[in-house]
Amino acid sequence: MIRSVHLTKPFAALAVIALAATMTACSSSDPVTMGSRPNSPAPVFTPSSQTNPAKLAVSLSSLPGWTAPTADGNGVYSRAIIGSDGKVTWKVLNGNNQVLSDYTGSGPVAFGDASTYTKIPGVLTFRGNNFRDAPTYGTAAITEKKLQVAWTQATGDVTAEGSYWAGAGWTGQPLLVNWPKATKAAMGLSQEQINDDNFVEVIYPVVDGKVYRVDLATGKQTKPPIDVGFAFKGTGSIDPRGWPLLYSGMGLNENGDKKGAWRYRIFDLIQNKEISGWDGSDAGAPRDWGAFDSSALVNAATDTLIEPAENGLVYKVKLNAKFDAAAKTVSVNPEIHKLNYNTPSSSRHGIESSAAAWRNLMFAGDNDGNIVCWDATTLQVVWVRPTGDDTDATIVLEDTADGPFIYTGNEMDKRGEAGATSGPATLQKINALTGEQVWQYQIDAVYNKAVNGGLMATPVLGTGEVSDLVFFNIAKTGSQTGGTLLALDRKTGTVAWERKLAHFGWSSPVLVTGTDGHIYGVVGDSSGLLHMFDPNTGQDYSTLQLSKNIEATPAVYGNTLVVGTYGKLLYGIKIS
């Protein structure tokens, strides 16, 4: 059952490793229902290229409908929740968990347009930047509309939390980095790699507790894997200054009989080892679960890292990072502040999604179904909007002539625990400045305690010929096995096309821009099938069978896509 409302306001079982992948160059038999595209294509908006935080920062009092928060005493503040009689309360803590009653920050922290996040070519964080809208870098010469395995890298597995975890899990996106020459030399890469301006390194923290480093072109290891012994489930981040620093947190603190302390880790890629970090078991946290699935954003202009955590805190970290390429040294000395917030629906606490940022405003969905907007400078909560259920998919942000908007959706989780067997996954477009809903679209999803239905995959915004659309990959719609790939009009939320998938997916779709000017979609599913599809129609151009369950999200550099699977393989795949 599908419901559409338009509001007009300005895992899985043990995988069998399949080394031989097969390709089918034919249209999919999955049924596609076509809708309408009243706004095709969308007009191009050119945002500011400003990067100075002092000039980018928006005064909170200038936001539409702004009201100051209430001071409740003892450093606690509150404000009303959108669409609810309740209120959100929050406090800011320092690294020693002392409450700071008047924290204003040491200066503005604000991100520029997504294109300014880094000047280093590549995909350096989950979905590439602070808008979370760039899982691909560059263009691809596409003539055959096919996918082919170029190389594989074997990985491992762990047992934890009474279950088996293998390969690369959710969100598990690889990082693809075209390093500056000086950084390559400092890291001790080969002279051939140092001299090659086209050399791209794949940095991939995965479930077996290792960080793999391989050459994008060949799949050969550039350095031995960094082994921390405990699983990474989310996506890491590379320092956007092109410095040899990797930021990535633990997803599990068990590995068979071994148990370790929860840890957010900072790695020196010169020494190829961890050099700093902090504990996830935090006395100032509202929840005793110290995992870090979020992919951090680093504000290069202010040397500041922002990392939401599953313990219910948002960490703001002054890195005090230093890099001396000639001396071949890099270091950090973190200074930590933390946002601790609470709502009437906060029973679980914790953020698994990765934060998006527009200037000094940051956005994430949490395990209790709240969309939370906070100020990166002061850690003040700006607004909260409930969605009705757990919201793990990362928010995608767009900047337009009418202001910034975010796209999000929830899953079928808390309602299932309360006894419902199915219910609507609600997809929304929201005004980023006010938290007001622009439109919503609902599609029924099935509850599964181990593998949730609904939106687990991050949406992707259309570009070029499909710039009027936003694409969602929704799990367990109508059954425990099937899913839906959906294209909605960005202005109205109406359906452009809807495709029923035989196998659901948690993997986030990507769009690749061809040198021919056309846009090509790629998405993986729980059977291990990688679909290359036409985003205008939803129909497959071709498919590629990989080892079981593509739960992780791909990243693309030029003509090469990299993704990991539950089958304990990392794949380099040529798009032709």
> Count of CB atoms within 10 A of residue 257's CB?
6
The identity of residue 418, as a single letter, is: A
> Is the distance from CB of 140 to CB of 513 less than 8 angstroms?
yes
In the predicted structure, residue 5 carries a pLDDT above the cut 50: no
Those residues whose C-beta lies under 8 Å from the C-beta of residue 570, and which sit 6 or more positions away, are 152, 153, 154, 155, 167, 168, 174, 202, 204, 206, 212, 214, 562, 563, 564
How do the domains of the chain map onto residue ranges? 2-575
pLDDT of residue 22: 41
DSSP state of 528: S
In the predicted structure, residue 316 carries a pLDDT above the cut 70: yes
Work out the mean pLDDT of the chain and round it to a whole number.
Answer: 94
pLDDT of residue 40: 86
Q: How confident is the model at residue 11 (pLDDT cuts 50, 70, 90)?
A: very low
> Count of CB atoms within 10 A of residue 34's CB?
14
Task: Classify domain 2-575 by CATH number.
Answer: 2.130.10.10
Span 176-188, average pLDDT: 98
In the predicted structure, residue 300 carries a pLDDT above the cut 70: yes
User: Which pTM value belongs to this model?
Assistant: 0.95
* Residue 394 backbone phi and psi in degrees, to 5: -70, 140
- 24-28, 321-325, 550-554: segment of lowest average pLDDT: 24-28
Question: Among residues of the chain, what percentage have pLDDT more than 70?
Answer: 95
In the predicted structure, residue 1 carries a pLDDT above the cut 80: no
* Residue 165 backbone phi and psi in degrees, to 5: -125, 135
Span 472-494, average pLDDT: 97
Report the DSSP beta bridge partners of residue 422: 446
In the predicted structure, residue 119 carries a pLDDT above the cut 60: yes
pLDDT of residue 24: 42
Span 281-297, average pLDDT: 97
- Between residues 146 and 27, the one the model is more confident about: 146
Span 307-320, average pLDDT: 98
DSSP state of 81: P
Q: In which residue are the tokens 């056309």 written?
A: 518
> Count of CB atoms within 10 A of residue 419's CB?
7
b/e code 353-379 from CB counts within 10 Å (16+ = b):
bbbbbbbbbbbbbbbbbbbbbbbbbbb
pLDDT of residue 46: 85
Q: How far apart are CA 13 and CA 526, in angstroms?
A: 11
Those residues whose C-beta lies under 8 Å from the C-beta of residue 478, and which sit 6 or more positions away, are 444, 446, 484, 500
pLDDT of residue 28: 57
Span 113-142, average pLDDT: 97
Q: In which residue are the tokens 């010169």 written?
A: 270
pLDDT of residue 485: 98
Q: Cis peptide before 135, with omega less than 30 degrees from 0?
A: no
Span 116-142, average pLDDT: 97
Span 238-254, average pLDDT: 98
Question: Among residues of the chain, what percentage have pLDDT more than 90?
Answer: 92
Q: How confident is the model at residue 48 (pLDDT cuts 50, 70, 90)?
A: confident
Report the DSSP beta bridge partners of residue 287: none
Over residues 49-59, the pLDDT tens digits come to: 889 999 999 99
Those residues whose C-beta lies under 8 Å from the C-beta of residue 42, and which sit 6 or more positions away, are 462, 467, 468, 490, 491
Q: How far apart are CA 304 and CA 543, in angstroms?
A: 41
